[in-house]
Amino acid sequence: MDLLTDSREEPVGDLEPDVGPSRAARVRVLLAAALGPLVTGYAVVATVLTLVALTAPRTVFSGTGVLLAAGPGWLAAHQVRLGLGVHPLGVLPLLPTLGALVLAARTASGATVRLGCRTPRAALPVFVTITGAHALFGLVIALCAQGSPVTANPMVAFAVPGLLAAAASAVGIARCCGLPDVVAERLDPLALRGVRAGALGLAVLVACGAVVFTVATALSWRTVADMYEPALGSSFGMFLLSVLYLPNAVTATLSFVTGPGFSIGDLNVGMFGYRGGAVPGVPLLGGLPEHHAAWWPALLVLPAATGALAGWSLRKVDADPAQRIRAVAVAGAVVALGCVLLGSLSGGRLGDGPFDPVSVPVGVASIVAFCWIFIPGSFVAFFTGEHEPPSPPEALEDNEAFEDAEEVDVDEAAEAVEELEASEEDEETEEPEAEAGEEPGEDTEFDAEADAELGLEDPAEDVPEAGEVVTGGTETCGDVEAAETDR
């Protein structure tokens, strides 16, 4: 009962088999984790296509056609490049991709909790199930679409959805198993603070791109409104298309704000350059400029302020300025990596017409984003953080001389103590020898008055000369020998 009531003592995977969920319960949970995101995502795509078909003019609704078309739509939501006949379609909407990632992460988190998994190893079946289900489902859709107007490469359809599902499920499982705390304990605290600051900087840059895009669209509202057709179905389709590709447009605007810009076919929009070209008639692109403006470089204040904010957030991570700059470098690397991912997913091929390709210069954008975080951030973190109080040169020399003097005095004192102890030991060892070889009458003083009181005489008076002592001693020895002979 103690194990059942307090499961926090040790992981469920280490308990007895009868304490955890039964085999049937585990199978049901894993099956729901495998099919839940697939069915939900497919149903959402089919619903959207149904709304478009019902509202579009001069179309005949077909349930079977909608269900068949939902398969390539599901692949597009998972960033699988499609083929429209012989024309490639690689510019895929990011909003459905974000929704699919969130769905997979929540499914993995819920399955981990229901199974009582407390360690990543115990949650490995959940990870494998969700990843394998997405990969197999993408492969099945690609194989079934062979010969249809919309096709996909089976290998790409197998790998990309599986990879996205693996990343999302790993995030969901890690949160439930406490893996972030374990990683945080083993990771360098300074690097961890840099990663957090980098995530903050990336979020701020994305927000800056969203604000600039919103303002540009609002200022060009008449152009945007003219792109909508009077028919409800056409307007709804254009609005839906704009919403699905909204994260792509924000990413392109982010690249423009940081400097490199973006391109759509012949159109190239950059902070310091502009080349005109044809633009698709989508309301999402109604805010695109028609020519270069001299005030555009003023927008560079936004990424510079973002870098300063990252440096400000890292001003107290360490008292050493070099360590603070190292944390800012980590933050810049995180922002650069985020720009690479967003830029890679936002662009791609768009048929073979005048709008092909849609691209963001990923390499240049990542390097520029790193510099925008590192340079202002290092400056702010260096000058606003703690510094050791500098000491003047003269005072420093005095301090060094004082320290050296103290060291010398201590050493001399220690040597003096050792010499004193050694001399005392020598005196103690030499004193008995002196007493043994000492002749009577030398270095011996008596208190005459004390002897007189005790009735003693001065032994020095009775001490004979050296020759007499020797003679007396000999005679005494002779008397003793004669006495022994008589006996």
Dump pLDDT digits (tens) for 77-95.
999 999 988 889 999 999 9
CA separation for the pair 480, 487 (Å, rounded): 11
For residue 156 the two structure tokens come to 């790409």
**Burial class of 171 by CB neighbour count within 10 A (0 to 12, 13 to 18, 19+):** middle
Instruction: Count Cα neighbours of 264 within 13 Å in the Cβ-side half-sphere.
Output: 19
Residues 348 and 406 sit within 8 Å (Cβ to Cβ)? no
E-strand stretches of 235-296: 262-264, 267-269, 274-275
* pLDDT value of residue 386: 76
- What six digits make up the tokens of 348? 């791609």
How far apart are alpha carbons 464 and 472 in whole angstroms?
9
CB proximity list for 317: less than 8 A, separation 6 or greater = 189, 190, 193, 323, 324, 327, 385
Q: What is the pLDDT of residue 244?
A: 95
Q: What is the pTM of this model?
A: 0.75
Q: For 294-332, what is each residue's pLDDT tens digit?
A: 999 999 999 999 999 999 999 999 889 999 999 999 999
- Give pLDDT, residue 120: 83
Asked whether 160 and 138 are in contact (CB, 8 A), the reply is yes
* 487 residues of the chain, pLDDT tens digit each: 343 334 333 344 444 444 567 889 999 999 999 999 999 999 999 999 998 888 877 777 777 888 889 999 999 999 999 998 888 999 999 999 999 999 999 999 999 999 988 888 889 999 999 999 999 999 999 999 988 889 999 999 999 999 999 999 999 998 888 777 777 777 788 899 999 999 999 999 999 999 999 999 999 999 898 888 777 777 888 899 999 999 999 999 999 999 999 999 999 999 998 998 888 889 999 999 989 999 999 999 999 999 999 999 999 998 899 999 999 999 999 999 999 999 999 999 888 888 889 999 999 999 999 999 999 999 999 998 776 655 454 444 445 444 444 444 555 656 665 676 666 655 555 554 444 444 444 444 444 554 454 454 554 444 444 444 444 444 444 444 444 444 4
Q: How far apart are CA 111 and CA 129, in angstroms?
A: 11
pLDDT of residue 219: 93
- Report which of 211, 103, 254 is spatially closest to residue 165, judged by C-alpha positions: 103
Cβ neighbours for 212, distance < 8 A, ≥ 6 positions apart = 253, 256, 257, 299, 302
Tell me the C-alpha distance between 110 and 44, whole Å: 20
pLDDT value for 176 = 82
Q: Measured in whole angstroms, how far is the alpha carbon of residue 425 from the centre of its chain?
A: 65
Residue 178: φ, ψ to 5°: 70, 20
Specify the pLDDT at position 153. 94
Q: Which residues pair with 83 in a beta bridge?
A: 88, 151
Cα–Cα distance for residue pair 367/339, rounded to 1 Å = 9
pLDDT of residue 217: 94
What is the pLDDT at residue 414?
A: 61
**What is the distance between the alpha carbons of residues 310 and 205, in angstroms, rounded to a whole number?**
11
| pLDDT of res. 150 | 92
